[in-house]
A and B are shown apart, each in its own frame.
Chain A
Amino acid sequence: MMRALNDPILKVENVTMRFGGLVAVNNLSFTAGRGDITALIGPNGAGKTTVFNCITGFYKPTIGRMALRHGTIDFAAHIETVTDGDSESLKTPDGTLFLLERMADFEISARAHVARTFQNIRLFSGMTVLENLMVAQHNPLMVASNWTIGGLIGLPGFRKRENAALETAKYWLNMVKLTDRADDPAGELPYGDQRRLEIARAMCTDPVLLCLDEPAAGLNPKESLELNTLLRAIRDDHGTSLLLIEHDMSVVMQISDHVVVLDYGTKISDGTPEHIKTDPKVIAAYLGVEDDAVDDVEAEVGL
């Protein structure tokens, strides 16, 4: 069920990220399909979080292009025109094309509707669970409050929009089963709850692409199963495409439609979970090979 070929939503092309002399990501290209759960896996230090940081704007890639589309705008037809020009996006009646490497991190979230979670949880620990979810809906609420002026003088439009935002927050609280803890400070939640809250907060921004950085880290098997159900529900009910970094193979194999494997910054495999499970290069990266085969494998991978 890999839609990457027919209905791509994100095209990462020739992305290289260099930090001085260190090449963290080396000429990475892959496509994520709309409505797919795409997993990015690889040993520690393979550059997966760096790829995420490039896609979500926290780093600017040294070389490369990352194109995201809303709607059904034709990638092939427009992508070169936009790249040659100066603009970050192109809007047509069919949809909009964004060049993520040209956008700032908050613009990627606000305009391109790409949301992310973090490997080490970044919640607003001094604010309650509900407040965390309300902050996520900042941009539409700001518009509704007429950039604060209307809200300050008490215009009615803001109150209505705030109630709608509360409803969205309540919906996501229900989805992640945190309704009972809505008024507790986020910093007091147990680890698994904090992870789920972060996912709920990201979903409150109404994203088309949700990037999850190790969502199952530190979860026990039962919690991992619940996470799988949640992620599937996000994809099925909301049509959000997911991009996951994950080490937990139970999560990866059970729910992903498409897996991309990185090792030392280079893509070594790309395909369905069944394909990469048996790919010798992947096995070599995770488990190693016999000593006499090392040189061959390295040459093949391009190290």
Chain B
Amino acid sequence: MNETASTPSVDYVQLFKDALFAAVIAFGLFSLMIGVKTDQALNNQMILVLRPGLLASIVGLVFAGRFLIGYWQATRIARVKVKKAPLSPAMAKLASYALPACIGFLFAYPVLVLLTVGPAGAIKWIDNFGIQILIYIMLGWGLNIVVGLAGLLDLGYVAFYAVGAYSYSLLATSMPIKAFMAEMIGPSFWGLWAFWILLPLSGILAAFWGVLLGFPVLRLRGDYLAIVTLAFGEIIRLVLINWVDFSGGYAGISSIPRPSFFGIPFNAADNGFSATFGLEFSPIYRTIFLFYLIFALALLTAAVSMRLRRLPVGRAWEALREDEIACRSLGINTVNTKLTAFSIGAMFGGFAGAFFAARQGFISPESFVFIESAQILAIVVLGGMGSLLGVVISSIILVGGVELLRELDFLKNVFGDGFDPAQYRMLIFGLCMVLMMLWKPRGLISQRDPTVFLKEKKSVSSDLVKEGHG
């Protein structure tokens, strides 16, 4: 508990001046960006639409925000800082149920949605929200191995996502393989089983790519590693765009086979899923199946990641993050250790990519831009490095929250009919990040659980845990 000393003397004049200064800068910056909007008139001429109301409200927001932040900081200096009391045993026990509770909620989510909105509205909620959030949770858990456990700053994780997606798509839609399978086994075999056969293969190919990428890159550390991984992410995207013969370029790859229910297709035919199980045909069955599929894949990522943490390799990853030179002095080959982190993280990215391609039915290089890498990294960092629960929470907030913006029609009443909340998602995203960095700089979950203990498991506060220098 923080105790407050006697009421501090707050210099309101200074606060007002600071807020005014910030508002003036905001006005200068936003007067053209927000205050004036370009539009097409009916005769296809460009006209300028002035939006003084919006500009005024944004400048007002900046003024108020700066004032409040200044006030908070001024009173914080006067506050006596007492070390926060550790969680009481009851709270700690409750906290240990948080992760299983989240997983239980995710497991029951489709059922809850069906009960609340019925089958018609459910597809949107399960697909755009549930499946999308789970894909990012899986990617977050995969990147957590690289960034959270091993402390390697990887800004190009989307590269492995792309490798997984494209390797599944190219192999699944490849004519020679289709012909071969039709000849060897049967005409419908490949269409039904392509996903299940190629899913592990995509992961292995992505892991292999991780090793290939890792070899030259892992000699670098810290910021240099970050930039080089970012560059690799971009290289892969550019190769996919430009090598049209291989990847189809911007047109992408379409008609990607969807996953079947272990050999039973999800269509209205007589041998389809609905007919086999005596149900009326509805597209929702495939959506629900896809949900549970990504749920299982994400759980696999978490389980493997938790298991690896307890094995010597996982401990070596965390030691690497703490102090690389000490690791080398203990006989640990740090290059190999970094490579394993990189490639295992890549493998899970590959699985997620293959799932993504199968769910969409169509992929293009547009889906694999840098901002995706940044978003996944934001999820991991916001969640708290190395924490599985943190990734779940920050995923739900960042991905779910942004999707939720599209639903918030009541905001139209506040800001006017032309207001589309989804357009402001980047602004809100940035704001959330800033707030998080002010409130909890080490992430939502700011503790680390040891993997082995003699008498009792004591959490290590994040003040002691290093961030890793790559």
Q: Which residues in A have some Cβ–Cβ distance to B below 8 Å?
A: 56, 58, 105-107, 109-110, 115-116, 118, 122-128, 130-131, 134-136, 138-139, 141-142, 145, 148, 151-152, 158, 166, 170, 173, 179, 182-188, 201, 205
* Chain A hits for B308, CB < 8 A: 148, 152
Q: Is B114 an interface residue (CB 8 A)?
A: no
Leading 10 A-B pairs by shortest Cβ distance: A126-B465, A110-B331, A109-B331, A187-B464, A124-B322, A182-B454, A141-B312, A122-B326, A185-B460, A151-B311
B465 touches A138 (CB 8 A): no
| CA of A130 to CA of B456, assembled, Å | 11
A128 touches B460 (CB 8 A): yes
B464 touches A131 (CB 8 A): no
The chain B residue with its CB closest to the CB of A124 is: B322
Q: Which residues in B have some Cβ–Cβ distance to A below 8 Å?
A: 304, 307-308, 311-313, 315-316, 318-319, 321-323, 325-334, 340, 448, 450-458, 460-462, 464-466
* Chain A hits for B329, CB < 8 A: 56, 58, 105-106, 109, 115-116, 118, 122
Known pairs A56-B329, A109-B330, A188-B464; A138 contacts B448 (CB<8 A): no
- Which of A107, A122, A126, A179 sits near B325, CB closer than 8 Å? A122
B331 touches A124 (CB 8 A): no
* Chain B hits for A151, CB < 8 A: 307, 311-312
Q: Nearest Cβ distance between residue B13 and chain A, in whole angstroms?
A: 43
Known pairs A106-B331, A131-B450, A188-B464; A182 contacts B323 (CB<8 A): no
The chain B residue with its CB closest to the CB of A188 is: B464
Q: Nearest Cβ distance between residue B138 and chain A, in whole angstroms?
A: 19
B330 touches A136 (CB 8 A): yes
Q: Nearest Cβ distance between residue A214 and chain B, in whole angstroms?
A: 15
| CA of A125 to CA of B308, assembled, Å | 21
| CA of A183 to CA of B450, assembled, Å | 8
How many contacts A-B (CB < 8 Å)? 136
A135 touches B450 (CB 8 A): no
Q: Nearest Cβ distance between residue A52 and chain B, in whole angstroms?
A: 11
28 contacts between A and B (CB under 8 A): A105-B328, A106-B332, A115-B330, A123-B326, A125-B322, A125-B464, A126-B321, A126-B460, A126-B466, A127-B318, A127-B322, A127-B460, A130-B453, A130-B454, A134-B452, A135-B315, A141-B312, A142-B313, A145-B312, A148-B340, A151-B307, A152-B308, A152-B311, A183-B450, A183-B456, A185-B464, A205-B330, A205-B331
* Chain B hits for A128, CB < 8 A: 450, 452-453, 458, 460
A126 touches B322 (CB 8 A): yes
| CA of A279 to CA of B325, assembled, Å | 37
Q: Nearest Cβ distance between residue B98 and chain A, in whole angstroms?
A: 21
| CA of A170 to CA of B329, assembled, Å | 21
Known pairs A124-B322, A125-B322, A166-B452; A152 contacts B304 (CB<8 A): yes
B304 touches A131 (CB 8 A): no
A131 touches B466 (CB 8 A): no
B326 touches A124 (CB 8 A): yes
| CA of A179 to CA of B455, assembled, Å | 10
Q: Nearest Cβ distance between residue A196 and chain B, in whole angstroms?
A: 16
Q: Nearest Cβ distance between residue A165 and chain B, in whole angstroms?
A: 9
B315 touches A138 (CB 8 A): yes
| CA of A115 to CA of B329, assembled, Å | 7
B311 touches A127 (CB 8 A): no
| CA of A282 to CA of B193, assembled, Å | 81
Q: Nearest Cβ distance between residue A17 and chain B, in whole angstroms?
A: 18
B458 touches A135 (CB 8 A): no
* Chain A hits for B464, CB < 8 A: 125-126, 185-188
| CA of A188 to CA of B459, assembled, Å | 12
Known pairs A116-B329, A124-B326, A183-B455; A135 contacts B311 (CB<8 A): no
A135 touches B304 (CB 8 A): no
Q: Nearest Cβ distance between residue B314 and chain A, in whole angstroms?
A: 9
The chain B residue with its CB closest to the CB of A137 is: B312
